[in-house]
Every structure is written in structure tokens, then in C-alpha cells.
Structure 1
Amino acid sequence: MYAITKEFHFSASHQLGALPAGHQCARTHGHNYLVVLELRCDDTELTEPGFVRDYGELDEFKHWLDATFDHRHLNDAVPGMNPSAENLAWWVYHQWVERLPELSCVRVSETPRTWATYRGK
């Protein structure tokens, strides 16, 4: 099994619901997010040049990520969903798995030491 990853960055605000009064994440606040896509395939699925997928083909994802999330309020960008890192990883995966069938995992970081991961395969 081969795997490649590529990371992307955006900045946004959010406010998480269903938290106790006074919880710091219940207030509107922002993060410098890091999103990592992982794409996988086995030996028989590598492209002719030997790629899982050409990294250049992920430029479309970067444009989408910027247009959808960068410098936005995530509660508005993804209406009806509590925009936790876990939910964002799930949502991004499901928005992109049809366009990137090799997509196996989306990781979202809000801080340098915290990560949420959604593995679809």
C-alpha cells in the first residue's frame, strides 16, 4: 500500500455549541487551521509515472478550501453542523472522496498539538 499526504492551511473562526456555559470553545474564536489529505493505493493502482496521484492535481482542493473556509466563520460556511475539528474532517472527506477516490484520510488541526482524523477507508 502506498500513501501520500499534502497539507493545506486556512484561518477561520467558529463557535461550538452543546458545551457547558463558560467553556472557552463556546465563545466565538479563531484558529490557523492545518488540513492534511492522505491518498492511498496499492502497487497495481499507481499511475504510469509511479504516483498515487500527481500533487499538482490537488490544486483544485486548495482553491476550494480557500473559497469555502479561509477567513470565514465556519458556522456559516458549513450550516447545520457544529464545526469541531472532528466534524470538519468528516465533512471534507465526504465532499471530496468522489473526486479523489484515493482519499483515505482527512486530518484537521486547530493548534500545533491537536489533531482530529477521519478515515474513510
Structure 2
Amino acid sequence: MLIYKEFTFDSAHFLPNVPDGHKCKEMHGHTYRLRIWIKGQPDPQLGWVMDFAVLKSVVKPVVAELDHKCMNYVAGLENPTCELIAVWIWDRLKPLLPAMDHLELHETPTSGVVYNGN
């Protein structure tokens, strides 16, 4: 069974490695939507895979590292593409959430990435 919890955060970034004239080379911001997926079986007594409150307490501090920040200056994200931000989040959460199956990071309502550590 897979459960998920969704989080949002607002961050700015610019992509220094894109060609001159590309709109993403300039500083701009997004409201990111992060969805964390946990895999497991419901506990026979409690009836849930994981307490959503516990999941929130683990993820919120990591999200806070990015929220209302310029991601180019956060923890070495010099080229903070959606893909590399997803890896950065995964690397922080996976040790704390071993049952995390994958994450989704949406940079816009129609663009994003799914990452499972591979």
C-alpha cells in the first residue's frame, strides 16, 4: 500500500548553466508542491501505514530549509533544477523515512519530477 502527504513551499532560483537569453537564467520563483510517498502495510492495531502527523514532523524541517529561500545559495544547490532539488530532498529524507518509496516535486502545476533514489 502507498500513502502520501503533500507539502508546498515557495522558493526562488536561477539556472546559471542554461544558454544566455533563456528565461530561467534570470532569478524567478515558484510555488513548489512536494508529495512524499510511503510504502507499507497498515499496522494491524492502528490501521495505518504511518501516522501522517509523524510524517509531517519529519518532512517539515527539510521543507523549511528551502521555503522562502534562494535555492542557489542553499546547501550547495548551485544549479537548482527541479531534478536536482528532488535529489537534494531525497538525500535528506530517506535516512529519516526508510519506507519512503518515491517523491514527486512539481515546479509548476504542469511540470515536475518523480524520484525514487535511482
Regarding TM over 0.5, the answer is: yes
Tell me the CA shift for residue 113 of structure 1: 0.5
Alpha-carbon displacement from aligned partner over 1:55-107 (angstroms, at most 9, x marks no partner): 010222123312x0111000111315421111111111111111101111111
Which shifted more, 29-38 or 73-82?
73-82
**Match of residue 61 from structure 2:** 63
What pairs up with 1:19-34 in 2 under 5 angstroms? 19-34=18-33
**Match of residue 76 from structure 1:** 73
Change in CA separation of 1:14 and 1:70 when aligned onto 2, cut-off 3 Å: same
Distance in 1 (CA, whole Å) between partners of 2:86 and 2:68 is 18
**Match of residue 88 from structure 1:** 85
Runs of 4+ in structure 1 deviating by more than 2 angstroms, as ranges, are: none
1:10 has 2:14 as partner: no
Tell me the CA shift for residue 36 of structure 1: 0.7
Contact 2:10 2:68 in 1 (8 A): yes
**RMSD (Å) for aligned C-alpha atoms:** 1.5
Contact 1:90 1:106 in 2 (8 A): no
> Which of 101, 104, 115 is matched with 2:101 structurally?
104
Q: Which runs of 5+ in 1 are unaligned?
A: none
Alpha-carbon displacement from aligned partner over 1:22-43 (angstroms, at most 9, x marks no partner): 01111110001111101112x4
1:82 is paired with a residue whose SS is coil
Distance in 1 (CA, whole Å) between partners of 2:106 and 2:18 is 20
Distance in 2 (CA, whole Å) between partners of 1:63 and 1:81 is 21
Percent sequence identity is: 30
Please tell me the residue identity of whatever aligns with 2:53. G
Q: Which runs of 5+ in 2 are unaligned?
A: none
